[in-house]
Amino acid sequence: MVSSLEEKIIKTIDERRDEIIQLLKDLIRIPSITGEEGKCQEFVAKKLEEIGIEVDKWQIDWEELKKHPAYVPIETMGYKGYEGRPNVVGILKGQKEHPSLIINGHTDVVPIGARNEWKHDPWGGEIEGNLIFGRGACDMKAGIAAMISAAATLVECNVKLKGTLYIESVVDEEAGGNGTLACIIRGYKADAGIIAEPTSLHYLCNSNRGAQFFRIKIKGGSGGLELKYTIPEAIEKAFKIYKAVDDFAAMRQIDVKHPLFKAFPLPAKIPTGICKIQAGDWPSTIPGTCIMEGSLECLPGEDIREIREQFKKYIAFVAQTDPWLKRKPPEVEWFGLWLEAAETPVNHPIVETIKKTSKEILNFEPQIIGGGGSDLRLLNLYADTPSVLYGPGGGAMHGFDEYADLKQLIDYTKSLTVTIVRWCGVT
């Protein structure tokens, strides 16, 4: 049953609809590609300060971060540390004996790609009908706007929470999650967490897959094109290894099962594959090396470290079937992004609270499904904070003309704010 306070919250959010949408538009208009989130983080900190809540803004200590076992080595992907890229946490303090909650989101976005492929300005926040367009609109500045707006609504409605609420706006999520890890190292943990990733309101993810970037180097002979039929070619041998990666992925699709990933279409259940190939530096010279890079994933209940070893052994096995690759085996190495799989029980109180709130506020319950790689595993495994992914949806994430759904933005802000009140309690 919806209380009078919750009705007041819902009414306040409806009245602030244009303000919430403008906030999202302002966020989209600040380019914040991973590594360049500083201005957007300063904007978030200022907004939280204007609300009148305590704000913790700090420069991440890169050297300290590197010592943590969950650290993702961003240097192997070309990133150069965290100078000018602060983390921001807004705090509504409650009492230690009452349930606390983290709501988490990231301001970094992926590059826009080819500008001429966009119909809408990727940094414009243009609105067409019920959609707002721009890089990061869906992933995940709509979630950030809702988080800030939820805090503003609580203050405007003079709500005093019993438990503490932490509003985490982090950097570096797209490169692996070191921003959230920095929050954990700083001491932030809670009884539960909600990461406002764009699940759409009809889905709630209680888990995330594990992942690991890999690089495979295949060596061959080298020389002029006239030697094509007399020396082993690295590109030709790479075809065999490319096929081996696909075969390994296909076997995994059949063998590995998890109830929350049953509905996923192939190969989305456990994505594994090569996405980058590089060889040669001259059109008439046979390259001596071919380098392929890709990503290997696993489901909750599996250890990504064990899957890495299985993958490496399978590539070595396939190489033994080719005379050249047997002599010159492919070199498999791990780099950059790596994620552990994690899972929150489907009957955890935070899951039940969100489901009940959604049913009473939005008239439907979200379906619980498994999720892709995310910061959920950090909160679950390293902060003792059982967490879920639940946020407003849209489309074309990481693609051209990415967009967020404005109705979902407003509905989610209502659901999130009431969930906060129900979880933390009110004095």
Check pLDDT > 90 for residue 261: no
Check pLDDT > 80 for residue 267: no
Of the pLDDT bands very low, low, confident and very high (cuts 50, 70, 90), residue 218 is very high
Give dist(CA 141, CA 2) in Å, integer: 28
- Residue 130, Cβ neighbours under 10 Å: how many? 12
Q: What are phi and psi of 186, to 5 degrees?
A: -75, -10
Which amino acid type is present at position 388? Answer: V
Helix/strand number for the chain, H first, E second: 12, 20
Q: Are 191 and 312 in contact (CB under 8 A)?
A: no
Residues 189 and 309 reside in one and the same domain: no
- Of 337, 108, 69, the closest CA to residue 208 belongs to 337
Residues 297 and 323 reside in one and the same domain: yes
List the CATH number of the domain containing 282: 3.30.70.360
Residues 128 and 33 reside in one and the same domain: yes
Residues 318 and 259 reside in one and the same domain: yes
Residues 255 and 327 reside in one and the same domain: yes
Domain boundary among 319, 339, 359: 339
Q: Are 384 and 344 in contact (CB under 8 A)?
A: no
How do beta strands 289-298 and 223-224 pair? Answer: unpaired
Residues 87 and 201 reside in one and the same domain: yes
Give the per-residue pLDDT at 266.
65
CA distances from 245 to 248, 268, 280, 393 (A): 5, 15, 22, 32
Give dist(CA 390, CA 198) in Å, integer: 7
Of the pLDDT bands very low, low, confident and very high (cuts 50, 70, 90), residue 256 is confident
Q: Domain span at residue 244?
A: 210-339
Give the per-residue pLDDT at 181.
98
Q: What rounded mean pLDDT belongs to the chain?
A: 96
Give dist(CA 195, CA 204) in Å, integer: 10
Give the per-residue pLDDT at 255.
80
What would the DSSP string read from start to end of 223-286?
Answer: EEGGGTTTS--HHHHHHHHHHHHHHHHHHHHHH---GGGTTSPTTTTS--EEEEEEE-SSTTEE
Residues 229 and 168 reside in one and the same domain: no
Average the pLDDT over each of 173-182, 198-207, 252-261 and give the range with the smallest value. 252-261
Give the per-residue pLDDT at 124.
98
CA angle 73, 74, 77 (to 5 degrees): 115
Note the pLDDT tens digit of each residue in 342-365: 999 999 999 999 999 999 999 999
Which amino acid type is present at position 230? Answer: T
Task: Please state the domain count of the chain.
Answer: 2
Give the per-residue pLDDT at 1.
86
Domain boundary among 321, 339, 357: 339
Give the per-residue pLDDT at 260.
80
Note the pLDDT tens digit of each residue in 317-342: 999 999 999 999 999 999 999 999 99
Give the per-residue pLDDT at 77.
87
Residues 170 and 64 reside in one and the same domain: yes
Report which DSSP code applies to 426.
B
Q: Are 351 and 388 in contact (CB under 8 A)?
A: yes
Average pLDDT over residues 96-122: 97
Average pLDDT over residues 144-161: 98
In the numeric block, the tokens 């306040």 are attached to: 12
Note the pLDDT tens digit of each residue in 370-398: 988 899 999 999 999 999 999 999 999 99
